[in-house]
Structure 1
Amino acid sequence: MYEFDLVLLLLQQMCVFLVIAWLMSKTRLFIPLMQVTVRLPHKLLCYVTFSIFCILGTYFGLHIEDSIANTRAIGAVMGGLLGGPVVGGLVGLTGGLHRYSMGGMTALSCMVSTIVEGLLGGLVHSILVKRGRPDKVFSPLTAGAITFVAEMVQMLIILLIARPFEDALHLVQSIAAPMMVTNTVGAALFMRILLDKRAMFEKYTSAFSATALKVAASTEGILRQGFNEENSMKVAQVLIQELDIGAVAITDRDKLLAFTGIGDDHHLPGKPISSLYTQKAIDTGEVVYADGNEVPYRCSIHPNCKLGSTLVIPLRGENQRVIGTIKLYEAKNRLFSSINRTLGEGIAQLLSAQILAGQYERQKALLTQSEIKLLHAQVNPHFLFNALNTLKAVIRRDSDQAGQLVQYLSTFFRKNLKRPAEIVTLADEIEHVNAYLQIEKARFQANLQIQMLVPEALGQHQLPAFTLQPIVENAIKHGTSQHLGVGEITIRASQHERWLQLDIEDNAGLYQDKPSASGLGMNLVDRRLRARFGADCGITVTCEPECFTRVTLRLPLEESAC
């Protein structure tokens, strides 16, 4: 009967431990205990936490004769099991020294046994981790079994060290069963609390990640197309569906772009910003949160608005400048969820990145258009002068050839001055180049030979406009026109696996690898190819002085391949 009463009393003391553990599980201090790690902060937290549990286990114990029936083993074993041998040993040493300082027949034996209990928990920790089974560390069954064995070891140590032996034996007979039962159950329940908190944390994290991924996937690319009312409304509708909140609004710096949810009858897109919370977020660049309790929220548009709290997060563009806000609302009868607050801030960063990417893409498109216009402007005025002089000379001797030259000249300038699109077919590009070459051939006559080796099957492949013409113009202007003999221009198109290769070769071999105005057209072509298709594409030049110069262009057979 005495042992049963002692078990009940110790269980009461153990319940105090479990209440403390439960309260601690509601704080951030509990989070590092939910994982096996070698990080020093985690080890320190384990040491401090379970050293306190060890000391409290002694203080809350029941004085029996010249000893203390206690729940100290819970702290020592849990410290070793969650922190490893070093932490377990230090927790045991701290708890043991504290017990030794209180004196008594079992002071020394209890100090030694507490250290051994901590080391025993740490030993099991190391074995499970080395065997690749760290999750077993968090098993209530494991914690209970180790604590049971640890208490058996403690009783043996008391019998070995405490004197007189008769008193030690009588003490062990009195406290062994109650302490073994109480500490075993206490350790298992403590681990159960930890395991439940871990499962809840993982579920929370998983739900958070799943929601974030769904939002990211659903809003991908919308604001890249432009930060306007139409695209903002699409994003707002995705957010209110995925986040399950009262309302969503998106603004620029001046007006409301989109609103959906509670209050959409008076929060109308296109209206100027009237909320002080929104204006504060724009002016300061900081997140503004009005929970409706500590920070009161009141709608600035309608006195009977059912919205009761709001989170306003700035959207940022180039150079981190605030370009608008995203606003999440909750109804007056609902609390604003902390997960929605965290998600809202993350979503704002995602949308800001989309807006910025869209701005860069539009700037890149404008730059590309400028480069194309620059290529248009690179047509040498002397070419037109020479072409007209050539036409004048041909008219005198061959009216039919003159008619063809007029047609070639018309084709050249039509394609040079007004292309319908940035991307054209290889056949269209060859037609443009051929018009240019035929005009030049009429000028140089027998001193210029042209060879086109372009398979018809490759003619429908697409490539950027003005890819070949600047290269061919360079080959004549800085190559064959300065060659003493007959100039030869060869244009080849060939397929190499998934790549299209275009070669423009002249027989002059006068290429010089140095920056100059004459190389501007070729450099622009190279940059455009690399920017559009990647670093594997672009231009390479091979030159054998006074023999040949070959300019090779490499690009994918299908634009979608890169």
Structure 2
Amino acid sequence: MYEFNLILLLLQQMCVYLVIAYLLSKTPLFIPLMQVTVRLPHKLLCYLIFSIFCIMGTYFGLHIQDSIANTRAIGAVLGGLLGGPLVGMLVGLTGGLHRYSLGGMTASSCMISTVVEGLLGGLVHRMLIKRGRIDRLLNPFTVAGVTLVAEILQMGIILLVARPFQEALHLVKSIAAPMIVTNSIGAAMFMRILLDRRAMFEKYTSAFSARALKIAACTEGFLRQGFNQENSMRVAQVIYQELDIGAVAITDREKLLAFIGLGDDHHLPGTAISSQHSRRAIDNNEVVYADGNEVPYQCSLHRGCKLGSTLVIPLRGENQTVIGTIKLYEAKNRLFSSINRTFGEGIASLLSAQILAGQYERQQQLLTQSEIKLLHAQVNPHFLFNALNTLVAVIRRDSEHAGQLVQSLSTFFRKNLKRPEEEVTLADEIEHVDAYLQIEKARFHDRLQIHFDLPDVLLAVRLPAFSLQPIVENAIKHGTSHLLGKGVITLRAEQYNDKLYLSVEDNAGLYRMTPGGSGLGMNLVDKRIRIRYGDEYGIDVEFQPNEFTRIILCLPLMGREPC
């Protein structure tokens, strides 16, 4: 009954001990303790914190006979498990010397046993690290088992060292079970606190949303312009300024595109990838975190590099294939790491989306340009054949008019072959269309009339090149050319709010809706407008059978200030 009461009293004291541990886990001091510690600054912090807990375990103990039933072993064992043999021994020595200073029959034996407990935790640390079983090292059941063995050893040391023996034996009988149970449970719960804090730290970052949004806003459009060295350097600069880390790098599959931060004297953009961590991330399409603790990190370029850890996240393109990586680094002497895996993966997803969007846009542009060239190849031979036949007929009766037609033909083909692929002014587009119409008027004689209703103020507005000619050609080819009487083509330009409306109208009214659309030319023009400006723009058709067909182009008003 006495032992059971002592267990309850020690568990009560241990609860206070663990509450303090829980509260401290909310501070940055515990961040290095959430992983196996191998760096010197982290070892020093590990020694300091667990030495304090080791001493606290003595102060929270219960005085039994001429000794103290305590939870000191929790600090010593955990110091060794997380910091290694040297840290464990030093924590045990510090806690042991403190216990020795308090005196009593078991002062010497408790000092020795506390050092042994720290060493035991350190030896288990070394054994599991060599076997690559870090997961076992951070397992609460492993911690409980090691602490149980440590407490059994302590009882044995008390029996061997403490004198008189009979009193030592009576003491061990009284405190053995309570201390073994309490310290084993307490150590396991302490590790559970660390693991819970670690899981929360990995999953959430207080500034994640704000930083991610800011980085997204600042880097928007950079990589859409191309995944190259110049744009990557601009992105790396933004990320480096926003994150409190040692360095930022961006690579493609073969070489380093950008690097900024510590080590920029030997991590040079344009050089081939040499890091095994980067190669692993690229080849296996996986996130690689070499924290310098659980996974060793050493710069592959310079032994004296100040970088001590890296998080490598793949950048993924179409079909989730790896097209490069973003790498976040931390310095060796940095006590509290700012690298967060969840945050890093969020940034990588953002950049991957930019790259993919840029590739898609360029593919669309190339496709559209190819379609336009196809349209040119289809239209020009047919038109040239008709134009030459018309020219032959005109030469016979009116040489001056024939000269004007040659000039119009020259203007038309010059515009077709040499005009830019992107945007032109409405005046330039009308010049192209007018050259085409002059030849068609000569072909149809008095059966074709052309009317322009184009306000001068709108002639400077810009629009995609080669937008009107296919529409005008359709109006003649599928409209007025089938009339027995006079055909009339009217071109208008009007402004409503911030939009430009261009209409091409014929008086034939022969337009027919077909399942395949409205013909190659009109479909291409509509597709180009929608890709470039969005679905609120494009082509609409109004028609009244046997009366008129009106093709309306809706475009944004660009190239001048709205009226």
TM range (shorter): 0.5 to 0.7
TM-score under structure 2 normalisation? 0.62
For residues 319 and 549 of structure 2, what CA distance do their matches in structure 1 show?
A: 45
Report deviation, 1:212.
Answer: 2.4
Which residue number in structure 2 is paired with residue 275 of structure 1? 275
Q: Which moved more, 1:287-296 or 1:208-217?
A: 208-217
- Is contact 1:474-1:518 (8 Å) kept? no
| Structure with higher RCO (Cα < 8 A, 6+ apart) | 2
Partner of 2:434: 434
Quote the Cα distance in structure 1 between the aligned partners of 2:237 and 2:385. 61
Distance 1:551 1:393 in 2: 32
| Residues 265-302 of structure 1, C-alpha deviations (whole Å, 9 max, x = no match) | 22222222211111111111111111112221122222
Equivalences for 1:130-279 in 2 at 5 Å? 206-279=206-279
In the other structure, the counterpart of 1:554 is 554
Is the alpha carbon distance of 1:339 and 1:18 closer, same or farther for their aligned partners in structure 2, counting shifts above 3 Å?
farther
Distance 1:453 1:429 in 2: 14
CA contact (8 A) 1:471 1:522 kept: yes
2:311 touches 2:339 (CA, 8 Å); kept in 1? no
Q: Does 1:444 align with 2:444?
A: yes
- Structure 1 308/382 Cα, relative in aligned 2: closer, same or farther at 3 Å? closer
Alignment of 1:322-401 (within 5 A): 322-335=322-335, 337=337, 340-379=340-379, 381-401=381-401
What residue is the counterpart of 1:126 in the other structure? Answer: none
Task: Provide, for residues 283-330 of structure 1, a one-character-per-residue CA deviation record: whole Å limited to 9, x for no partner.
Answer: 111111111122211222222222211111111111111111111122
Return the alpha-carbon distance in structure 1 between the equivalents of residues 270 and 536 of structure 2: 47
Q: 1:378 aligns to what SS in structure 2? A: helix
What is residue 304 of structure 1 aligned with on the other side?
A: 304
Distance 2:276 2:251 in 1: 13
Residue 207 of structure 1, CA deviation:
3.1
Q: Shift of the alpha carbon at 1:456?
A: 1.3
Shift of 1:18: 6.3
> What displacement does 1:398 show?
1.5
Partner of 1:506: 506
Aligned to 1:70: none
Taking the aligned partners of 2:25 and 2:372, their CA distance within structure 1 comes to: 61
Match of residue 530 from structure 1: 530
Q: State the Cα deviation string for residues 454-513 of structure 1 (Å, max 9, x = none).
A: 111111111111111111101111111111111111112222232222221111111111
Check the 8 A contact 1:375/1:466 in 2, yes or no.
no
* Residue 404 of structure 1: how far off its partner (Å): 0.8
The aligned counterpart of 1:416 is: 416
Instruction: Give the aligned partner of residue 147 of structure 1.
Output: none
After superposition, the Cα gap between the structure-2 partners of 1:205 and 1:283, relative to the gap in structure 1 and judged at 3 Å, is closer
How many angstroms does 1:347 deviate by?
1.3
Q: How far apart, in 1, do the equivalents of 2:492 and 2:550 lie? A: 11
Query: Contact (CA 8 Å) 1:274, 1:301: kept in 2 or not?
Result: yes
Q: Which residue of 1 aligns with 2:175?
A: none
CA distance in 2, matches of 1:489, 1:267: 65
Q: Distance in 1 between matches of 2:371 and 2:362?
A: 14
How far apart, in 1, do the equivalents of 2:505 and 2:409 lie?
23
- State the one-letter code of the partner of 2:522: M
- Correspondence 1:38-57 to 2 at 5 A: none
Distance (Å, rounded) in 1 between the aligned partners of 2:518 and 2:377: 13
My pick for the range that moved more, 440-449 or 538-547, is 538-547
CA contact 2:329–2:339 (8 Å) conserved in 1: no
Give the letter for the 2:334 counterpart. Answer: R
Partner SS, residue 450 of structure 1 = strand
TM-score normalized with structure 1 length: 0.63
**Residue identity in the other structure for 2:220:** E
**2:472 — aligned with what?**
472
Alpha-carbon distance, 1:19 to partner:
5.7
Q: 2:245·2:338 contact (CA, 8 Å) conserved in 1?
A: no
Structure-2 change in CA distance of 1:435 and 1:218 (3 Å): same
Structure 1 residue runs of 5 or longer lacking an equivalent are: 1-11, 29-196
The aligned amino acid for 2:475 is A
In structure 1, give the amino acid aligned to 2:327. K
Identity of aligned residues (%): 72
Letter of the aligned partner of 1:401 in structure 2?
A: H
Q: Which runs of 5+ in 2 are unaligned?
A: 1-9, 27-196
C-alpha change, 1:548 and 1:237, in structure 2 (3 Å) is: closer
Partner Cα distance (1:343, 1:235) in 2: 16
Q: Is the 8 A contact 1:447 1:486 kept in 2?
A: yes
8 Å contact from structure 2 (residues 315, 325) kept in 1: yes
Residue 13 (structure 1) shift: 11
Q: Look up the SS of the partner of 1:379 in the other structure.
A: helix
1:17 Cα deviation after fit: 6.4
Aligned residues: 379
In structure 1, C-alpha distance between the alignment counterparts of 2:306 and 2:460, rounded to whole Å: 61
| Aligned residue identity for 1:371 | E
- Give, in whole Å, the separation in 1 of the partners of 2:429 and 2:262: 57
In structure 1, C-alpha distance between the alignment counterparts of 2:518 and 2:348, rounded to whole Å: 48
> Quick one: distance in 2 between partners of 1:382 and 1:301?
64
Deviation at 1:335, TM superposition (A): 4.1
Q: How does 1:453-468 map to 2 (within 5 A)?
A: 453-468=453-468
| Equivalent residue number for residue 539 of structure 1 | 539
Alpha-carbon distance between aligned partners in 2 of 1:274 and 1:339, rounded to the nearest angstrom? 22
* Alignment-derived partner of residue 120 in structure 1: none
Q: Secondary structure at the match of 1:433?
A: helix
How far does residue 210 in structure 1 lie from its aligned partner after superposition?
3.0
- Asked if the contact 1:311/1:329 (under 8 Å) is kept, the reply is yes
Q: Tell me the distance in 2 between the aligned counterparts of 1:374 and 1:303.
A: 58
Question: Deviation of residue 446 (structure 1)?
Answer: 0.9
Quote the residue 1:497 is aligned against: 497
Contact 1:307 1:332 in 2 (8 A): yes
Q: CA deviation at 1:26?
A: 7.2
1:233–1:412 CA distance, 2 compared to 1 (3 A): same
Paired with 2:11 and 2:307, the residues of 1 have a C-alpha distance of: 48
- Residue type of the partner of 1:378? Q
Q: Which SS does the other structure have where 1:451 is aligned? A: strand
Q: Is the 8 A contact 1:533 1:559 kept in 2?
A: no
Root-mean-square deviation (Å): 2.9
- Note closer, same or farther for the CA distance 1:408–1:560 as it changes in structure 2 (3 Å cut): closer
Give distance in 2, aligned partners of 1:362 and 1:254: 22
* CA separation of 1:309 and 1:13: change in aligned 2, threshold 3 A: closer
Match for residue 484 of structure 1?
Answer: 484
C-alpha displacement of 1:14 = 9.4
Structure 1 residue 379 displacement after superposition: 1.1
